[in-house]
Chain A
């Protein structure tokens, strides 16, 4: 069966094996060779293994226990973030960290040690994992966590699925008082304003993120969004609840070419920027609208056409942040390549829990580009140069093309990590960057 990840680059043949609980208990070495595949929401090849086996984990979707007093949740690794939020948020508990889509498995969130808009206060997903059960392809079962078998834990959090199959997980949720957030939006006209807004927001808000208009050149104008969880609000003052399930908008098929091009982007960016200039700057939003705005359009990735698209996400250390960003925006504007989703956010200073975790202190920029082959690759090579010059790194969850040197340079603990690799696990990314 041909499988592609979220970026929709060339779908390649895989054997997809759906895992079930019973099957994992049946044999001593139930896995064979392969790599775990959750929801395939990674953009690149971290979850792919062309010519080999994918262990689809979404059938391992059972909750095991939840303590309403402490917010400790024990579940199988294929449980979706969506189900945790939907079920437990109304009961006063939410994920402490969530990425920008809720169609992600707990196992996938751990293996990429994903981050959210609250990195500056909460760190990354792995910071809230209190235990992991790992099943190795030789049949060994390893329980690890921040207090036991910590080396295995540090290897597995952000371990790109390469240390074994995560079967069970224990998470610490955060208490929340409602399903709503108080959201404030404003525009910024250049990167200095962005950094000032970020510094301020980090003190007063749990969440902050921004959208930057890449077509506007190196000045970097954009929209800044910050939020806190809201106390309960009276039923009559609630905004309308977002429709759930069936009424989602959908992109039903993949057009032959990308609908996202310079022209459509320029229009969108103008509209979005100016709409926000006028928009009421304070509002109450449901958690799904705030955390997961893109989830409202199912299969939005198809808009990029049959060739798919790349995401380029880097983090730049604080010292060089402003300068490097200016250079990158300049390169992008000059390459005449607009990115639809350009997200700019500062990370906090917390050391990430995994050996190969992506977050580190600094500023992260995420850009989407339609796949225009050579052209796009040339642009990436230029961006790589800026990232490596200032000691930054790229995010493997989003990557399908970074050169080996950049990976090795960005992840100095790589050689320590290798001791924990499961020799029965392969992935396209591992072949490309590690083996």
Chain B
């Protein structure tokens, strides 16, 4: 008896606490870019954050870091299989629960060497599955929930690689391109509502994803700077943000290069 009462009390206290915090759901929450975004959010104010990924241990390390940074944070860790439709639906349902989220950030992604995608269809498929299919399915699941709640910001990590197919990464680029078209449609669907859909397009950023490029000496933007600009773009609810901003111009040029010129370039 006593313990039941206690349980209910705890639930109430917890429920009360949590409802005062803004809630953020992060898919692919072990992503370096996502981790830096969460650190920035928590530097401003405590929040309730649901960390969703595929590996509990890695997610718990992220949770520990965030808890030191802001002891008032309320954290939940959920893991599942991003290649299974049911699992995605389930994760989205559990993450949302009964409490609408102010922000949902989709940050999962993989970028194996393009050569591996060409020589092994399984790798090719994984790139399409994670970067495009899982992202679109998560987005679709949360879109329905945001629609019901009448509010929310859905932020999707696309990439400059989605702007034009290039020999060096077109499988990844195709997946990111799919997300661009998808987001466009969702923005159209939610036009005139309080729901915002934000597409973020980072340029090459210093994270585990680009470790191989770094070894080859490629210049990469510091992840903390990229995250800062992402957080700003999400706050402002802009439709499409290149981060850093210089990529808008660079990609505009690349998109508009005549094919005859473009095809001679090895980029």
Instruction: Write the residues of chain A forming the contact surface with B, with a CB cutoff of 8 angstroms.
Output: 1, 15-18, 20-23, 56, 59, 62-66, 68, 73, 75, 87
Residues in A with CB closer than 8 Å to B71 are 68
Q: What are 8 A-B interface contacts by the 8 Å CB criterion? A: A1-B217, A17-B214, A18-B214, A21-B61, A62-B65, A63-B64, A73-B68, A75-B68
**Interface assignment of B58: CB less than 8 Å from any CB of chain A:** yes
**Interface assignment of B48: CB less than 8 Å from any CB of chain A:** no
* Residue in B58, B65, B206, B217 whose CB lies within 8 Å of A18: B206
Residues in A with CB closer than 8 Å to B61 are 21, 62, 64
- A1-B217, A15-B215, A68-B71 known; A22+B208 contact, CB < 8 A: yes
- B57 nearest in chain A by CB position: A25
**Interface assignment of B62: CB less than 8 Å from any CB of chain A:** yes
Distance (whole angstroms) from the CB of B109 to the closest CB of chain A = 14
* Residue in B30, B69, B215 whose CB lies within 8 Å of A16: B215
**Interface assignment of B103: CB less than 8 Å from any CB of chain A:** no
- B43 nearest in chain A by CB position: A87
What are the 4 tightest A-B residue pairs by CB atom distance, in nearest-first order?
A63-B68, A1-B217, A20-B208, A62-B65
Residues in B with CB closer than 8 Å to A17 are 211, 214-215
* Residue in A16, A18, A59, A64 whose CB lies within 8 Å of B68: A64
**Interface assignment of B32: CB less than 8 Å from any CB of chain A:** yes
A17 and B214 CA atoms in complex are apart in Å by 7
- A21-B58, A62-B65, A87-B69 known; A16+B214 contact, CB < 8 A: yes
A62 and B214 CA atoms in complex are apart in Å by 21
Contact between A18 and B69 (Cβ–Cβ < 8 Å)? no
Residues in A with CB closer than 8 Å to B211 are 17-18, 20, 23
A403 and B190 CA atoms in complex are apart in Å by 70
A73 and B71 CA atoms in complex are apart in Å by 14
Residues in B with CB closer than 8 Å to A73 are 68
Which residues 37-90 of B have a CB within 8 angstroms of A? 58, 61-62, 64-65, 68-69, 71
Residues in B with CB closer than 8 Å to A75 are 68
Residues in B with CB closer than 8 Å to A18 are 206, 208, 211, 214
Which residues 194-208 of B have a CB within 8 angstroms of A? 206-208
- A20-B211, A64-B68 known; A59+B217 contact, CB < 8 A: no
Given contacts A18-B214, A22-B30, 11 further A-B contacts (CB under 8 A): A16-B215, A16-B217, A59-B208, A62-B61, A62-B62, A63-B65, A64-B61, A65-B68, A66-B68, A68-B71, A75-B68
* Residue in B58, B64, B68 whose CB lies within 8 Å of A22: B58
A65 and B207 CA atoms in complex are apart in Å by 23
Distance (whole angstroms) from the CB of A41 to the closest CB of chain B = 16
A425 and B208 CA atoms in complex are apart in Å by 23
- A16 nearest in chain B by CB position: B214
* Residue in A23, A56, A62 whose CB lies within 8 Å of B64: A62
- A13 nearest in chain B by CB position: B217
Residues in B with CB closer than 8 Å to A64 are 61, 64-65, 68
* Residue in B30, B69, B206 whose CB lies within 8 Å of A63: B69
A178 and B55 CA atoms in complex are apart in Å by 40
Distance (whole angstroms) from the CB of B83 to the closest CB of chain A = 19
Distance (whole angstroms) from the CB of A14 to the closest CB of chain B = 9
A247 and B203 CA atoms in complex are apart in Å by 24
A65 and B69 CA atoms in complex are apart in Å by 9
A31 and B64 CA atoms in complex are apart in Å by 25
A73 and B69 CA atoms in complex are apart in Å by 12
Residues in A with CB closer than 8 Å to B65 are 62-64
Residues in B with CB closer than 8 Å to A66 are 68
Distance (whole angstroms) from the CB of A388 to the closest CB of chain B = 41
Distance (whole angstroms) from the CB of A299 to the closest CB of chain B = 14
A63 and B42 CA atoms in complex are apart in Å by 14
- B222 nearest in chain A by CB position: A58
Distance (whole angstroms) from the CB of B63 to the closest CB of chain A = 10
- B66 nearest in chain A by CB position: A63
Residues in B with CB closer than 8 Å to A1 are 214, 217
A87 and B67 CA atoms in complex are apart in Å by 12
Distance (whole angstroms) from the CB of A321 to the closest CB of chain B = 42
- A62-B61, A64-B64, A87-B69 known; A23+B215 contact, CB < 8 A: no
Residues in A with CB closer than 8 Å to B58 are 21-22
Distance (whole angstroms) from the CB of B216 to the closest CB of chain A = 8
Residues in A with CB closer than 8 Å to B69 are 63, 87
A87 and B211 CA atoms in complex are apart in Å by 28
Residues in B with CB closer than 8 Å to A23 are 208, 211
A18 and B58 CA atoms in complex are apart in Å by 18
Distance (whole angstroms) from the CB of A157 to the closest CB of chain B = 24
Which residues 1-46 of B have a CB within 8 angstroms of A? 30, 32
A20 and B214 CA atoms in complex are apart in Å by 13
- A62 nearest in chain B by CB position: B65
A15 and B61 CA atoms in complex are apart in Å by 28
A1 and B69 CA atoms in complex are apart in Å by 34
Residues in B with CB closer than 8 Å to A22 are 30, 58, 208
- A68 nearest in chain B by CB position: B71
Contact between B32 and A59 (Cβ–Cβ < 8 Å)? yes
Residues in A with CB closer than 8 Å to B208 are 18, 20, 22-23, 59
Distance (whole angstroms) from the CB of B75 to the closest CB of chain A = 13
A17 and B58 CA atoms in complex are apart in Å by 21
Distance (whole angstroms) from the CB of A197 to the closest CB of chain B = 40
Residues in A with CB closer than 8 Å to B214 are 1, 16-18, 56
A64 and B30 CA atoms in complex are apart in Å by 15
Distance (whole angstroms) from the CB of B223 to the closest CB of chain A = 8
